[in-house]
Amino acid sequence: MRQKLIIISGSPCVGKTTVANKLYEKFNNSAYLDSDWVWCVNPFSIEDSRLRNGDKNVSYVLSNYLNSKFDYVFCSSVIFTDKDIRENILKNIEAKNYDIIGISLMCSEKTLFERHKKRGDNNEVSYYWLRLGSYPGDYIINTDNKNINEIIEEIKNIIIK
C-alpha cells in the first residue's frame, strides 16, 4: 500500500479538527498535523505579510511524517481551501511516492452559525471560507445533520477504497 496524505479542509467551525483527530486515532501507523498551529502568532492578522511563511512549516512537517513512513498522514486546516496555498504547500513536500486524498467539509450557513454559537464564539461569523467552495477534485462531505461518527465512517470509506 502507498502512503496516504489526507487533507481535510473547510470553513472554520465546520468540524475539521474534530474529524481529523478522530480519524487519525482510528488508523494505525498514522500521524496528524493541525496546520493552524504551525503559525500561531500574536497578534494574528490575515494581512500579515509573514503569514505564508507558516506554509513552509506545514510542508516540512508533512515531509517529515511521510519520510518517517507513516501509512496515513492527516492534515487539517482552513488554508487548504485556497488553491494557490494548497498547491504551494504540496509542491514543497520533499517526500515521494504517496497518494493525496482531499476532503472538503461543508455545511449550510445556518449550521455554521449554530456551531459558532455553540462554541461560544463571540466573533462575527464569517461565511467567506464556506462560500469559497471546495478544492477541485476533493471529496465533498456535507456535515449538516450528521454526527461525528457518521462523518468519520463516510471518510473512512473514501480512504480505504
pLDDT in tens, 76-93: 998 899 999 999 999 999
- Predicted confidence at residue 124, as pLDDT, reads 66
Across 35-94, the runs of DSSP E, i.e. the strands, are 72-76
120 Cβ neighbours under 8 A, 6+ residues apart: none
Taking Cα atoms as reference points, which of 37, 9, 3 lies closest to residue 132? 9
pLDDT digits (tens, 9 = 90+) for 7-33: 999 988 899 999 999 999 999 999 999
- Amino acid 123: pLDDT: 64
CATH of the domain at 137: 3.40.50.300
Report pLDDT for 156: 97
In this predicted model, what pLDDT tens digit does every residue of 118-159 receive, in sequence order? 887 766 677 888 888 889 999 999 999 999 999 999 999 999
Residue with the larger pLDDT of the pair 122 and 95: 95
Residue 65 to residues 10, 43, 86, 128, Cα–Cα distance (Å):
22, 29, 17, 31
Q: Which domain holds residue 120?
A: 3-159
Task: Determine the straight-line distance between the first and last CA of the chain, rounded to whole angstroms.
Answer: 11
Q: How many domains does the chain have?
A: 1
Taking only the tens place, the pLDDT of each residue in 22-73 is: 999 999 999 999 998 888 888 877 788 888 899 999 999 999 999 999 999 9
How much is the average pLDDT of 107-122?
86
